[in-house]
A and B are shown apart, each in its own frame.
Chain A
Amino acid sequence: EVQLLESGGGLVQPGGSLRLSCAASGFTFSNYAMSWVRQAPGKGLEWVSTISGNGITTFYADSLEGRFTISRDNSKNTLYLQMNSLRAEDTALYYCAKDKFLEWLLFFDYWGQGSLVTVSS
């Protein structure tokens, strides 16, 4: 059974940093691109970032302006999102999500339960 379990969220002041983790199990983690998708309170879904299965290639939403870094440790089956210079508008539930197919198409068949990030003073 595929499982994605996020952790690392919390309350942080504007300008602060946070690192999210997503522990994966139930599939060959290194074979699949992984992504972060966020959802602000009461709002829709917004793609944040994607990393290839081997960790070499990454993509980011323009709105992040270089403040976030996605990475993965395939030996630990874990995905990460390092978030720096956080702003109030980054407040959201952050989901990690798995690509459905080996050839990364960027639609998602499994999602974690989400990790809440709140940026506030």
Chain B
Amino acid sequence: EIVMTQSPATLSVSPGERATLSCRASQSVSFNLAWYQQKPGQAPRLLIYRASTRDTGVPARFSGSGSGTEFTLTISGLQSEDFAVYYCQQYNKWPPPTFGQGTKLEIK
């Protein structure tokens, strides 16, 4: 099973600033990495797949990068609605597809 590790667990950033979230895989997942956003009381929302492709309707301030074992989700010009928990997920080798433990992005 591929273990996904996200850092930091909690990230405090001011509105308007940039947030950088990291995700590391225990072995290479190529580009087969997705990012989800989850707000309290809501289901996860797909933001990014194939490491850097934004899903339909996702604002351009969300960008993904990386390959192999190291990935980054960058959110530029943070808006109030962006404060949430973010999960990465690998789908290169399954079963099982595996999620990171999440990064909580909070308002500084």
Contact = CB atoms under 8 A, between A and B. Distances in A.
Interface of A: 44-47, 50, 59-62, 95, 100, 105-109, 111-114
B87 A45 contact: yes
B48 to A, nearest CB: 10
Given A45-B99, A46-B99, A95-B43, A109 B94 contact: no
Contact of B46 (A46, A95, A107, A112): A107
Contact of A44 (B94, B95, B102): B102
A50 B94 CA distance: 11
B32 interface: yes
A114 B94 contact: no
Interface residues of B, number: 21
B91 A105 contact: yes
B46 A47 contact: no
16 contacts: A44-B87, A45-B99, A46-B99, A47-B94, A47-B99, A50-B95, A59-B94, A62-B96, A95-B43, A100-B46, A100-B49, A107-B34, A107-B46, A109-B46, A111-B43, A111-B45
B65 interface: no
B101 A106 contact: no
A47 B43 contact: no
B94 A106 contact: yes
B63 interface: no
B87 A114 contact: no
